[in-house]
Chains A and B, each alone.
Chain A
Amino acid sequence: MSLPTHHPTSETFRANALAALADDTLRGALQRATGTLSERRKAAIAELPEWDALRARARAVKAEVLSRLDHYLEEFVARAQEAGATVHWARDGARACAIVAEIAAGLGRPTIVKSKSMTTEEIHLNEHLERGGLEPVETDLGEWIIQLAGEMPSHITAPAIHKTRGQIARLFVEKIGSEPTDDVQELTLAARKALRRHFAAADLGISGVNFAVAETGSILILENEGNIRLTTSLPRVHVAVMGIEKVIPRFSDLELFLRLLPRSGTGQHLSGYQSILTGPPPAGGEGPAEMHIVLLDNGRSAMLREEVTRQSLACIRCGACLNFCPVYQQIGGHAYGSVYPGPIGAVITPQLNGLEKTAQLPFASSLCGACRDVCPVEIDIPRLLLHLRALVSEGRDLPGFDGTVPRKRGEALAFRLWAWAMTSPRRYRAAAALARLGTKLGLSRLAPPVAAWRAARELRPFASRSFRDQWRELER
């Protein structure tokens, strides 16, 4: 398996976005895909008149668990251990990778199959294992495609959404020697055959977790393809990696989230398969003899401190915000330079990595609020974006990070002057007169924002008489 080559980073967001805008194939694929997923979601929720009540309830359940996360984590761990699972804790990605590598090392040189897990991509688990000479094989079709291509996922639920069938066909010919074909059925069949060999030989299966139930110590993982079931039932050892925010209080709460997630993300009433696993099977039972659960912090605990950031831990990774975001629809996921793209990515990427290298992301939004409208757990993403923008403008990093957050001194000065002008009617009028004069003298084109506007749009000129100048006549 090839290690990823060049990945766009958050630092080069502007350049990434421009490259994406110039890529017509990508934009076509994005718009078709996000359009389809949005339509399907609309149809699926139309059948559930209680939709908004369910969202409010989900927000409340998440708020409940996050406000007492230590308690619920301890309960989850106790129940999971009683059921025979081995639980590991990892304060950061490096530690989590080391734990998984240790488990693998205990198996010699195991054949590894992996199912889709954003958390494992967040901590670069594959790269870590590959550096140790192992070859984890992604088994989710979209993830396997991008693994072959050496790319990052561009969408939370449809990682290869940016690729056309033609591109995938050429990739398969090159990497697995399959027959060239444009038929999606045949491409899928080729993938099934190729990956079956890996499943049959696998010693170790690595998965993520969608929900971890504190009450019973169970984990739930959902999918459509069946690769998660194979990954978690054929190998001798199963390792499940989960962020600590995946915990929910009660087994019965699963009904609520199972009603929300598939509908929000893909418009399905329910995903094809849910595996609810509570410890490894008893001796002689079907499935891996060992189950390991790795609990990952990696910056999540810091997000608990303030209510405005705590809500972002409620995310259930449905991808709806991406599908409805007019910015994401234009630039796709790679532009964000993060495992987590789109609106939710713009707010959690800085929180997991600090603002030094991600300072552009909170500004990559028009604050339209479409994401907030569709979020099944009612995360107020625009409010979070504003919170992060305030930190950037002050040159402050998030708690727990002390990076150098680039402060835009020119912009800060401009807003200080602006506020000074806006807090007095006389200064306001003088500033307006000055601006009007500057426009008349043709100086305005020197101002970068004006030039940026004018590149593709006409700019409305100052009116010769402002409204307040006309008020005297209007008053009569």
Chain B
Amino acid sequence: MRVSLFVTCLVDQLWPSVGTATVAVLRQAGCEVTFDRRQTCCGQPAFNTGYRAEARSVARHFVATMEQGDAQAIVIPSGSCAAMVQHIPELFDATDPWRARAQALAGRAHELSAFLVRELGIVDLGARFDGRVTWHDACHGLRDLCIKDEPRRLIDRVAGAERVEVESSESCCGFGGTFSVKYPEISVAMLDRKLEAIEARQVDAVVSGDVSCLMQIGGRLQRKRSRVRTLHIAELLASRG
């Protein structure tokens, strides 16, 4: 299967290892990966902050870029970006041709773990990681895309990894896009509450499907000089011990 990778702007610029790991994982799963270098962003930051016109123009660029090529699926290593792609059609009026184009694209765009498990039926990527890990349910992936079991099943097949469930796995890490810097004190208070529960379980790494959450969680763990690491699911699945 040919897939087109939408790597997301945050991964591209701040966390490229997630991108390379995603490519490795997809190839391991038997896919041919293409990457259109004209891609930029899905428009989520503007949309979430209320700048619809700006979100629309960026969304048009996204649609125009990603609908090209002959890939059967678009794979996105981010729950929030994948969820945004599902919302892009709403940005356009019912009569606007962009809406139908966006809808067609949304129909074949998938978040990474959902793609592997639901579309390809694959849970074992031959990965190896020694340590206790816990999964953080990023909000958009969980609530907009119903991604809950898939990453857990993938992690359970990672040799050497012990997956630990934490009660606060579904509570928001406090990122919320611009919320994290508009109301940083509330954002960090939400984060600390979540981290308390995680640190009580003595895990080695927090795993998530969203680098935005990992930046928030990792940024605080580092400031607190915690030994707990953060890992994107792609990095975990590409890990060979």
Tell me, yes or no, whether A binds B: yes
Interface string of B23-37 (1 = CB under 8 A from A): 100000000000101
Using A330-B193, A422-B40, A460-B15 as known contacts, say yes or no to A467 and B49 having CB atoms under 8 A apart: no
Q: Is A68 part of the binding interface, using a Cβ–Cβ cutoff of 8 Å?
A: no
Contacts of B185 on A, CB cut-off 8 Å? 17-18, 21
Please state if B39 and A366 are interface contacts (CB–CB under 8 Å).
no
List 8 interface pairs A-B (beta carbons < 8 Å), by A numbering: A17-B183, A326-B171, A326-B190, A386-B47, A389-B50, A390-B51, A459-B219, A462-B14
Contacts of B7 on A, CB cut-off 8 Å? 467-468
B-contacting residues, A378-401, CB 8 Å = 386, 388-394
Please state if B223 and A21 are interface contacts (CB–CB under 8 Å).
no
A-contacting residues, B1-25, CB 8 Å = 7, 9, 11-16, 19-20, 23
A55 to B59, CA, bound (A): 33
Q: Which of B23, B139, B219 is A474 in contact with, Cβ under 8 Å?
A: B23
Please state if A471 and B35 are interface contacts (CB–CB under 8 Å).
yes
Contacts of A416 on B, CB cut-off 8 Å? 54
Q: Is A46 part of the binding interface, using a Cβ–Cβ cutoff of 8 Å?
A: no
Closest to A392 in B: B50
A465 to B15, CA, bound (A): 10
A300 to B15, CA, bound (A): 47
Please state if B143 and A372 are interface contacts (CB–CB under 8 Å).
yes
Please state if A17 and B186 are interface contacts (CB–CB under 8 Å).
yes
Please state if B186 and A364 are interface contacts (CB–CB under 8 Å).
yes
Q: Which of A86-94, A171-179, A448-456 is near enough to bind chain B?
A: A448-456
**Smallest CB–CB gap between B35 and chain A, Å?**
5
Q: Which of A370, A372, A424, A474 is B172 in contact with, Cβ under 8 Å?
A: A370
A458 to B38, CA, bound (A): 30
A331 to B174, CA, bound (A): 13
Majority SS of interface residues in chain B?
A: helix
Q: Is B120 part of the binding interface, using a Cβ–Cβ cutoff of 8 Å?
A: no
A416 to B40, CA, bound (A): 15
Contacts of A370 on B, CB cut-off 8 Å? 139, 143, 170-172
Please state if B12 and A21 are interface contacts (CB–CB under 8 Å).
no
Using A330-B190, A386-B50, A389-B50 as known contacts, say yes or no to A366 and B184 having CB atoms under 8 A apart: no
Q: Is A365 part of the binding interface, using a Cβ–Cβ cutoff of 8 Å?
A: yes
Please state if A423 and B193 are interface contacts (CB–CB under 8 Å).
no
A386 to B23, CA, bound (A): 34
A369 to B48, CA, bound (A): 13
Q: Is B218 part of the binding interface, using a Cβ–Cβ cutoff of 8 Å?
A: yes
Please list the 5 inter-chain residue pairs (A to B) with the smallest Cβ-Cβ separation, ordered nearest first.
A366-B176, A389-B50, A457-B219, A393-B50, A467-B19
Closest to A330 in B: B189
**Smallest CB–CB gap between B188 and chain A, Å?**
5
B-contacting residues, A305-327, CB 8 Å = 326-327
Please state if A391 and B50 are interface contacts (CB–CB under 8 Å).
yes
A110 to B139, CA, bound (A): 53
Q: Is B199 part of the binding interface, using a Cβ–Cβ cutoff of 8 Å?
A: no
Interface string of A394-438 (1 = CB under 8 A from B): 100000000000000001100110110111110010001001100
Closest to A472 in B: B37
**Smallest CB–CB gap between B142 and chain A, Å?**
8
Contacts of B58 on A, CB cut-off 8 Å? 419, 422-423
**Smallest CB–CB gap between B109 and chain A, Å?**
18
Please state if A366 and B20 are interface contacts (CB–CB under 8 Å).
no
Q: Is B175 part of the binding interface, using a Cβ–Cβ cutoff of 8 Å?
A: yes
Please state if A467 and B16 are interface contacts (CB–CB under 8 Å).
yes
Interface string of B131-175 (1 = CB under 8 A from A): 000000001100110000000000000000000000000111011
Q: Which of B20, B47, B172, B216 is A457 in contact with, Cβ under 8 Å?
A: B216
Q: Which residue of B19, B40, B57, B188 has the most chain A CB atoms within 10 A of its CB atom? A: B40
Contacts of B47 on A, CB cut-off 8 Å? 386
Please state if A456 and B40 are interface contacts (CB–CB under 8 Å).
no
Q: Is B215 part of the binding interface, using a Cβ–Cβ cutoff of 8 Å?
A: yes
Q: Is A367 part of the binding interface, using a Cβ–Cβ cutoff of 8 Å?
A: yes
Q: Is B104 part of the binding interface, using a Cβ–Cβ cutoff of 8 Å?
A: no
Using A21-B185, A21-B189, A468-B12 as known contacts, say yes or no to A456 and B50 having CB atoms under 8 A apart: no
Please state if A415 and B49 are interface contacts (CB–CB under 8 Å).
yes
Contacts of B215 on A, CB cut-off 8 Å? 460
A17 to B179, CA, bound (A): 14
Q: Which of B16, B48, B53, B180 is A453 in contact with, Cβ under 8 Å?
A: B180
A393 to B50, CA, bound (A): 6
Please state if B190 and A327 are interface contacts (CB–CB under 8 Å).
yes
Please state if B179 and A365 are interface contacts (CB–CB under 8 Å).
yes
Closest to A390 in B: B50
A424 to B39, CA, bound (A): 8
A435 to B184, CA, bound (A): 22
Q: Is A445 part of the binding interface, using a Cβ–Cβ cutoff of 8 Å?
A: no
Q: Is B177 part of the binding interface, using a Cβ–Cβ cutoff of 8 Å?
A: yes
**Smallest CB–CB gap between A180 and chain B, Å?**
34
Contacts of A422 on B, CB cut-off 8 Å? 9, 40-41, 43, 58, 61
Q: Is A194 part of the binding interface, using a Cβ–Cβ cutoff of 8 Å?
A: no
Contacts of B172 on A, CB cut-off 8 Å? 326, 366, 368, 370
Q: Is A373 part of the binding interface, using a Cβ–Cβ cutoff of 8 Å?
A: yes
A449 to B51, CA, bound (A): 17
A386 to B144, CA, bound (A): 15
**Smallest CB–CB gap between B7 and chain A, Å?**
5
Q: Which residue of B11, B12, B13, B223 has the most chain A CB atoms within 10 A of its CB atom? A: B13
Please state if A419 and B46 are interface contacts (CB–CB under 8 Å).
yes
Contacts of B46 on A, CB cut-off 8 Å? 415, 418-419
Using A21-B189, A418-B46, A466-B12 as known contacts, say yes or no to A425 and B38 having CB atoms under 8 A apart: yes
